[in-house]
Amino acid sequence: MIIEMFRKSGRLLQTAVGVYRRGIARSNQHSPAFGVLFDIDGVLVRGTTLIPAAKEAFRLLLDKNGKFRAPVVFVTNAGNCVRQARAQQLSAILEVEIPQDQVILSHSPLRMFHRFHDKQVLVSGQGPVAEIAKNVGFQHIITIDMIREAFPQLDVVDHSRRPKHLPPPKMDFPQIEAVILFGEPVRWETNLQLIIDVILSDGKLASAPHVVPYPHIPVLACNMDLLWVTEATMPRFGHGTFLVCLENIFKKITGLELRYEALIGKPSIITYKYAECVLRQQAMKRGWTAPIQRLYAIGDNPMADIYGANLYNQHIQAACGDQVHAQVKGHKVMETLKEESVVLKYFKPEEELPLGAADWCKSILVCTGMYRRYNEMPSDPEESVVETVFHGHRDFCFDPSLVEPSWIVEDVKEAVELIYKEEGWV
């Protein structure tokens, strides 16, 4: 009888524990303590084609009212439009309403760079670049076409565009104080030539420079992706390829390194910091009171999505006083982390973006885009990986630990299921 009483009490205890755990899970779902960062191209879509698993993933992400069950942002290195247009395009493809406040383009963190907003800036890219620049806060905007119109003799690679009659030089053309590179342009030869001209002339295009100014005027670049995926059978050139051209032309002409005031977009720390602030803002608007302690970043590109999430995790741990640097192979990672952290001096969030710090950021790699399972990765960073494997930007060192995801899953549906399992939302 005594044994039977213990058995019954044990079953009652197990039942009570189960109810308690389910109660915690339900409570957590009302006020989630985590946020999710989704890449777009290669994770949700390929070009304008929906990846089938994305549809199933969104069934898990949305509640019965069509609202997200947890804080979610969509972080893409695309940047040839304003975020409202990208949100509308994504909403149409996914058949789910995506507010523009949840879309982070490569240039979105430039909203925080108030120091440059009142300067005369040259903007390069494609699409409505002047509108994009104005949308993120710049007030005095000069485009490549404006330079071509004022100084047609500078753009002569295409013989059909060479002027037949040269106008007098525009001596009143404003001095350019900074260069903002939003994304890959359409006419690379024109943009490369005129951007180099601006840098070499210290922004004074009406007169020839006597010496090469160095340090040169500030250059801020968004989107470092060397390649990206569309419906094509092979990856396509990204803005990172354009930057490789610009850097090497400048070095060949001057013998000097082109220096960036800031590199923005994944894998930059500042992009992940901005995304975390947006997640917190979203949680506040939804009335979720639990602080966001855990971040999950889902992507298809080891050199951008995974590298960036892992680098941001290093930054979080370092800020918390953890000596993670000692655990990372190679001192170059420490240098990258230090240089990236310096850029945060420009990060002055607007009042509506709450600051805070998560406990960690973990990376989830999907196999529907740039990455394919069983790709071999050299474990020794001293090997010739820069030319053969590493597609990251020149100013970001290669280290195997930074491109190693926390998890590898087949697609975005499996990624969401994994997050729910980790959070006890199963």
In tens digits, the chain (426 residues) has pLDDT values of 433 443 444 444 444 434 444 444 444 457 999 999 999 999 999 989 999 999 999 999 999 999 999 999 999 999 999 999 999 999 999 999 999 999 999 999 999 999 999 999 999 999 999 999 999 999 999 999 999 999 999 999 988 888 888 888 788 999 999 999 999 999 999 999 999 999 999 999 998 888 999 999 999 999 999 988 888 888 899 999 999 999 999 999 999 999 999 999 999 999 999 999 999 999 999 999 999 999 999 999 999 999 999 999 999 998 876 443 333 334 455 556 565 555 566 656 554 566 678 999 999 999 999 887 655 544 554 443 344 457 889 999 888 889 999 999 999 999 999 999 999 997
Distance of CA 92 to the CA centre of its chain: 22
Q: For position 330, what pLDDT does the model report?
A: 41
Q: Are 364 and 296 in contact (CB under 8 A)?
A: yes
Q: How far apart are CA 409 and CA 368, in angstroms?
A: 10
Q: Are 402 and 302 in contact (CB under 8 A)?
A: no
- pLDDT of amino acid 372: 72
Q: Which helix (H) or strand (E) holds 263?
A: strand 262-264
Alpha-carbon distance of 285 to 68, in angstroms, equals 12
**Which distant-in-sequence residues (6+ apart) come within 8 Å of 121 by Cβ?**
133, 138, 140, 141, 142, 176, 177, 178, 179, 180
pLDDT at 355: 66
**DSSP label of 68:** B
Give the pLDDT of residue 324. 38
- DSSP 3-state of 349: coil
Q: What six digits make up the tokens of 250? A: 């400048």
Tokens 């032309």, located at residue: 249
3-state secondary structure of 120: strand
Degrees to nearest 5, angle at CA 40 with 34 and 46: 150
pLDDT at 343: 56
Which of 39, 138, 49 is CA-nearest to residue 405? 39
pLDDT score, position 384: 38
Residue 89 near residue 204, CB atoms below 8 Å: no
